[in-house]
Structure 1
Amino acid sequence: MQRKLATIMVGDFVGSTPAMETDEEGAITRIDAVLDTVRTVIQRHDGRVFGTAGDALLAEFGSPVNALRAAIEARAEIAALPGSSGGDMRFGLHVADVVVVGSDLRGDGVNIAARIEASAPPGAIEVSGVLYDQVRRVSPCGFEDTGERRLKGIFEPIRIYRVTELVDRHLYQFAPTRSSPNAAQPPRTNSIAVARFDIAPGAIADQSFLADGITDDLTLELSRLKGLFVSSRSAATALTTKDPVEIGRLLGVGYVVSGSIRQAGDDLRVNISLTETGEGLVIWSDRITRPFRELLDVMDEIIARVAATVSGRVEQSELAAARLKRPENMTAYEYYLRGLDHHRLVGVSDTHIHEAMAWFERSMTADPGFGRPFAMHVCSWSNLPSFDLHEAEQQVAHALALDPTDPEAHRIMGAIKMKSGDFASARYHHIRAKELAPNDAYILGRSAAFYVYVGEAEHALEMLDRAETLDPFLPVWITEERVAALYALDRFEDMMRVALTLPFQTRRTLLYQIAASMACGNSGKAELLVRQALSLDPGLSAIYIRMQETYADESVTEALIERNCDAGLPPKPRKPTPRKKSTLLR
């Protein structure tokens, strides 16, 4: 028998029997409209309906991310249908090796997806632990771990995750910022990208946190050198290719640093190479075996060698200025990297928030003089309802006292000052962050929000242009700042066009589209967008806008709220919900 790996999605209309008893013809019309909508969305995401059962559809996808996005979009579009709601369908998703029988798919994997769907509450999207593991780094939504569940006819219990909010976000959500992200870009002068380091064969435990951390730090410190164009970390990570020539072609860089790392006991083994992307010529390569405690010294040597090759002789004073303050205790650095690994996924589930904070706290304890974990601890903490702005400000001030040259700490302090209404201090810290890391696309993109909120939207657009030049694959929650900037400039048509180019909509992009539609006199469209937003986040209200959109000119915030409420957004949540997570510090 032929077999293949597939993502199975089962969607079923909820409550068809009582609906038929009340109004048979009306119910049939409504069910058909809902199922037709689901079929259309499935096709849009390269899925295929391979079976039906009553009011249920069975579909297959080659990508679990596409299947997840299809379920989320289908629920939102169903909510926009007349007489329907997001609770009309429920979905179950699973990844499995299935049996191919003609155009049909059969096997245990299909049964598991069906049982997950049948056990889900109305309107819910639930996925197996297997699928969750596949999508957690690239998912456009957050998840709630509902625990293990015994499903009818399935021998072993299955861990089930429930989709919470589409608009939770994390560092692996890439949004191509040019119309043809796969188009070749001419190489820039003195330009370089750091490809994500691999884990060398033979590693005993999962050391991805170490590979990601080294990739981050090499990119950050190279970006602080004047005269170098450094493509951002997320740009190199978003690409599926490992070929330096292809990376150079897509990112427009002349050189690519690539390598692998393995920690074995107290020893560290690093394989590294610098490749010229025009001809694929390896300029130099090295295999380094050193004690783990000398990791940061190894990184210094790599940075000096790369900089000297790419841009000629670099003064030692410039290299020293580019170097972030080092921890005295390498255990603290390892804990810090482990914290970052979880911090990148804080939007996926609260578990990652707590894990990130715990690792940062261990790092702070292991080396109280190491500033970076103090700042990043605040960044993770800002995603919890317990977040306290005053305590956070004190902690980041301590981080800056330990290392006044940390650009990320300055960016975080700028966001805190802006949230507290001290826009003058916020400006200082955002400017300082840019001065310390002029080629850091992430800092440029996040700082753009400040300039939108203080009424300098044109400057914000310039910063976003620069960030997108450095990184054609910025996270969605940076590219959404362009939507806010265009709205602030009353460029509503441009704003709507940009919003529709995003791979998915966030709370903020929907709220700005609602306000723009009302400003243009299109109340019908605005009302549909409100229904879509509420189907994605039933607790959304004007309170979220007031908390999130902190304009220095409060009348801008009030107008944004008024337009949304006129379109049907409730002033307060319709049901009690946890405080929405801040996106300013992340």
Structure 2
Amino acid sequence: MKRRMAALMVGDIVGYSGMMERAEEQTAERLASCQALISEKVDLLDGRVFKTTGDGTLAEFPSAVNAVRSAFEIRSALAGAQEPDTEPFRMRFGLHIADVVVQGDDLVGDGVNLAARIQAAAEPDSIYVSGALFDHVRRNSAFIFDDMGERAFKNITESVHLYRVRGEIGAHRLQSAPTQLVITTERRPASVAVLPFRVSGDDENQRYLAEGLTEELIVELGRFRRLSVSSRSASFAVADSHPDPVRVGEALGVRYVLEGQLRKIGERVSISLTLSETDQGTVVWSDKIQRPFEEILALVDGIVARIAATVSGRMEDAAMVAARRKPPENMTAFDCLLRGLDHHRLGGVTDDNARQAVGWLSKAIEADPHYAAAYAWRVCAASGLPGFDPEQGRRDICRALELDPCDAEANRIMGAFELMGGNFDEALAHSRRAMELNPTDAYIKARCAAVFTCVGEAEHSLSLLDEAEMLDPFLPVWCVEERGVALYALGRYAEAIESLRKLTFQTTRSRLYRAAALVALDRSDEAGRMVREAVGSEAALTASNFTSRECYRDPEKARELGRLLREAGLPP
């Protein structure tokens, strides 16, 4: 008997039997079109439809992330394909991951049955996933989830924890990039990727410490102007699938790869380090260090200096070395910060994790009221929560910069706050300062590019995005979509449409900018479909609330965007 693991998606059309009674031939024709659309979306994400049952569809995916993305894409595409004066097809989905039995082209077993039960429990237009599948996607998700609690199902021995997809995630720095492989045969000189430190066993305390130290190294190495450092998202994206230094070099275009293994034994930390060149995979140097946990940040400083000297052949000027972010006054604060960041990675995925992140970061501030990084990250963690207080956020980020003006991330966040407040010159100043402080941080470049587009410097935005994508071929979608927005702002509508069309995942924002560009080119039918898809994923969307998010310095830009979207069919 052949078995395999599969991410399962089961979907059906709500009220289909009633539609057949009211308009049999028309409904049957529409079902055929719907099934063709579903098959297309499933195929695009490497899935396979293995069974249809009237209006029901069962599909499998090798990737849990792609299973969720496919269900979301199908739901949005159906909204875009609805014809006027017809009863809308409203689907509901159930997703689960399980070991299934293969019978020819069919899949059977308890896992398939459970996915079907989850689908039956879902409301119209909703996507429910099991706790088992959620555990696979939560660190690589493009979506926010609502925790629906435990649910008992008939003939299922144990209750099942369910989550519901609420919508797209926000622009979250710590989320992983799309897992796509980009081969870059040309390696940049004096360039390095820091892979996530491995840990022994499944100790959560060791894992969050390892990830935190990896990020510390990436940030601190990024301060050296002669050193090109791959971003966190790029390093984490290739870590699991391409651990070999030569393959990492091909994927990220770097000449060196730093790998490490961490063990925390009592109050001591042991780190094994290996720096390899990526042409042949030859080890350049390796070291094993043991220190008390309290000395861990001093350890980071020493590692950074050694790598910088080895890779670039010289140390940067003393002023840049001295510009290191100020460390906490005690290790309790650092430990709380790392725990907060661990929850923040999932903060866009569930509100509970965002609240826990805010709690841990607040504890870091209590332990060390002068810890600038904790204030900056607390703003990020809190900003996605319902009821976020922008004034408290501004106070936190002002405090962070007061304590440490050399924190690049804090300067970037302040730039975003100033942009939202209409203080465009201040937004530019903080964005430029952020890039000066960490010139090789691809995420900072991409997010600052958005500021330049809004203030009317979209050509410079495109240059920044070129630099960011060269540094990091795995940038998150919400960074890459900035290119399409900049092209739109320049009136290069056909290029904007093509750039946004190529995104690995379509966001509400990308769809609406495509719609506006399509109307500008007199392609209203296509624009209408984009708007319907956008509304299908965000029902309360209007032209006014969308344009209010796009903080253009020139008010005519916002008015023009709103006009084009209304012409495309978006409610005013």
TM range, smaller chain:
over 0.9
Task: Tell me whether 1:367 sits opposite 2:368 in the alignment.
Answer: yes
Q: After superposition, what is the alpha-carbon deviation per residue over 1:14-64, rounded to whole angstroms, capped at 9, x for unaligned? A: 112211221222222222322232223223322222223332122222221
Matched position secondary structure for 1:164:
strand
1:285 corresponds to: 286
2:225 corresponds to: 226
**Deviation of residue 272 (structure 1)?**
0.7
**Deviation of residue 168 (structure 1)?**
4.1
Q: Please list, as runs of the form range in 1=range in 2, the aligned pairs for 1:309-388 lying within 5 A after superposition.
A: 309-314=310-315, 317-318=318-319, 320-388=321-389
Matched position secondary structure for 1:534:
helix
The question of whether the paired residues in 1 share the 8 Å contact of 2:148 and 2:161 is answered with yes
Residue ranges of structure 2 left out of the alignment (5+ in a row): none
Aligned-partner Cα distance in 1 for 2:482–2:567: 24
Aligned-partner Cα distance in 2 for 1:406–1:506: 30
RMSD: 1.8
Aligned-partner Cα distance in 2 for 1:263–1:447: 37
1:547 corresponds to: 548
Relative to structure 1, the CA distance from residue 330 to residue 497 in structure 2 (aligned partners, 3 Å threshold; closer, same or farther) is same
The question of whether the paired residues in 2 share the 8 Å contact of 1:523 and 1:567 is answered with yes
Q: Please list, as runs of the form range in 1=range in 2, the aligned pairs for 1:128-139 lying within 5 A after superposition.
A: 128-139=130-141
Q: After superposition, what is the alpha-carbon deviation per residue over 1:354-408, rounded to whole angstroms, capped at 9, x for unaligned? A: 1211111010001111111111111222212422333322221111111111111
Counterpart of 2:34, as a letter, is: V
Counterpart of 1:328, as a letter, is: E
1:436 corresponds to: 437
**Deviation of residue 421 (structure 1)?**
1.1
Q: After superposition, what is the alpha-carbon deviation per residue over 1:431-490, rounded to whole angstroms, capped at 9, x for unaligned? A: 111111111111111111110000000001111111111111111111111111000000
The question of whether the paired residues in 1 share the 8 Å contact of 2:170 and 2:384 is answered with no
**Deviation of residue 298 (structure 1)?**
0.7
How many residue pairs are counted as aligned between the two chains?
567
1:28 corresponds to: 28
Aligned-partner Cα distance in 2 for 1:95–1:166: 21
Aligned-partner Cα distance in 1 for 2:358–2:102: 46
**Deviation of residue 173 (structure 1)?**
4.3
Relative to structure 1, the CA distance from residue 360 to residue 526 in structure 2 (aligned partners, 3 Å threshold; closer, same or farther) is same
291-300 or 8-17, which deviates more: 8-17
**Deviation of residue 204 (structure 1)?**
4.0
**Deviation of residue 175 (structure 1)?**
4.7
The question of whether the paired residues in 2 share the 8 Å contact of 1:175 and 1:502 is answered with no
**Deviation of residue 188 (structure 1)?**
2.1
Relative to structure 1, the CA distance from residue 86 to residue 536 in structure 2 (aligned partners, 3 Å threshold; closer, same or farther) is farther
339-348 or 88-97, which deviates more: 339-348
Task: Tell me whether 1:104 sits opposite 2:121 in the alignment.
Answer: no
1:237 corresponds to: 236
The question of whether the paired residues in 2 share the 8 Å contact of 1:92 and 1:120 is answered with yes
2:61 corresponds to: 61
Relative to structure 1, the CA distance from residue 75 to residue 398 in structure 2 (aligned partners, 3 Å threshold; closer, same or farther) is same
Relative to structure 1, the CA distance from residue 43 to residue 246 in structure 2 (aligned partners, 3 Å threshold; closer, same or farther) is closer
Aligned-partner Cα distance in 2 for 1:565–1:85: 23
**Deviation of residue 79 (structure 1)?**
1.8
The question of whether the paired residues in 1 share the 8 Å contact of 2:182 and 2:473 is answered with no
TM-score normalized by the length of structure 1: 0.93
Matched position secondary structure for 1:438:
coil
**Deviation of residue 114 (structure 1)?**
0.6
Relative to structure 1, the CA distance from residue 203 to residue 55 in structure 2 (aligned partners, 3 Å threshold; closer, same or farther) is closer
1:508 corresponds to: 509
Q: Please list, as runs of the form range in 1=range in 2, the aligned pairs for 1:205-284 lying within 5 A after superposition.
A: 205-239=204-238, 240-284=241-285
Matched position secondary structure for 2:146:
strand
The question of whether the paired residues in 1 share the 8 Å contact of 2:98 and 2:111 is answered with yes
Q: After superposition, what is the alpha-carbon deviation per residue over 1:81-127, rounded to whole angstroms, capped at 9, x for unaligned? A: 34467752211111001112222211110110010111111121111
The question of whether the paired residues in 1 share the 8 Å contact of 2:226 and 2:316 is answered with no
The question of whether the paired residues in 2 share the 8 Å contact of 1:141 and 1:169 is answered with no
Aligned-partner Cα distance in 2 for 1:440–1:40: 37
Relative to structure 1, the CA distance from residue 40 to residue 202 in structure 2 (aligned partners, 3 Å threshold; closer, same or farther) is closer
1:44 corresponds to: 44
1:162 corresponds to: 164
Relative to structure 1, the CA distance from residue 56 to residue 256 in structure 2 (aligned partners, 3 Å threshold; closer, same or farther) is same
Matched position secondary structure for 2:397:
helix
1:70 corresponds to: 70
**Deviation of residue 553 (structure 1)?**
0.7
Aligned-partner Cα distance in 1 for 2:467–2:267: 41
The question of whether the paired residues in 2 share the 8 Å contact of 1:530 and 1:569 is answered with yes
The question of whether the paired residues in 1 share the 8 Å contact of 2:195 and 2:257 is answered with yes
2:95 corresponds to: 93
Aligned-partner Cα distance in 2 for 1:203–1:523: 54
Relative to structure 1, the CA distance from residue 243 to residue 282 in structure 2 (aligned partners, 3 Å threshold; closer, same or farther) is same
Relative to structure 1, the CA distance from residue 97 to residue 215 in structure 2 (aligned partners, 3 Å threshold; closer, same or farther) is same
Counterpart of 2:342, as a letter, is: D
Task: Tell me whether 1:524 sits opposite 2:525 in the alignment.
Answer: yes
Relative to structure 1, the CA distance from residue 98 to residue 203 in structure 2 (aligned partners, 3 Å threshold; closer, same or farther) is closer
2:413 corresponds to: 412
Q: After superposition, what is the alpha-carbon deviation per residue over 1:232-275, rounded to whole angstroms, capped at 9, x for unaligned? A: 22112111211112212222221111101122221111111111
Counterpart of 2:450, as a letter, is: A
Aligned-partner Cα distance in 2 for 1:57–1:513: 30
TM-score normalized by the length of structure 2: 0.95
The question of whether the paired residues in 2 share the 8 Å contact of 1:267 and 1:291 is answered with yes
Counterpart of 2:230, as a letter, is: S
Could you tell me the percent identity over the aligned residues? 46
Q: After superposition, what is the alpha-carbon deviation per residue over 1:493-538, rounded to whole angstroms, capped at 9, x for unaligned? A: 1111111111111121111111111111111111111111011111
Aligned-partner Cα distance in 2 for 1:316–1:499: 41
Counterpart of 1:98, as a letter, is: V
Q: After superposition, what is the alpha-carbon deviation per residue over 1:131-190, rounded to whole angstroms, capped at 9, x for unaligned? A: 1111112222221111111122212111111111135454334258xxx95323322221
Aligned-partner Cα distance in 1 for 2:35–2:385: 38
Task: Tell me whether 1:172 sits opposite 2:175 in the alignment.
Answer: yes
Relative to structure 1, the CA distance from residue 85 to residue 226 in structure 2 (aligned partners, 3 Å threshold; closer, same or farther) is farther
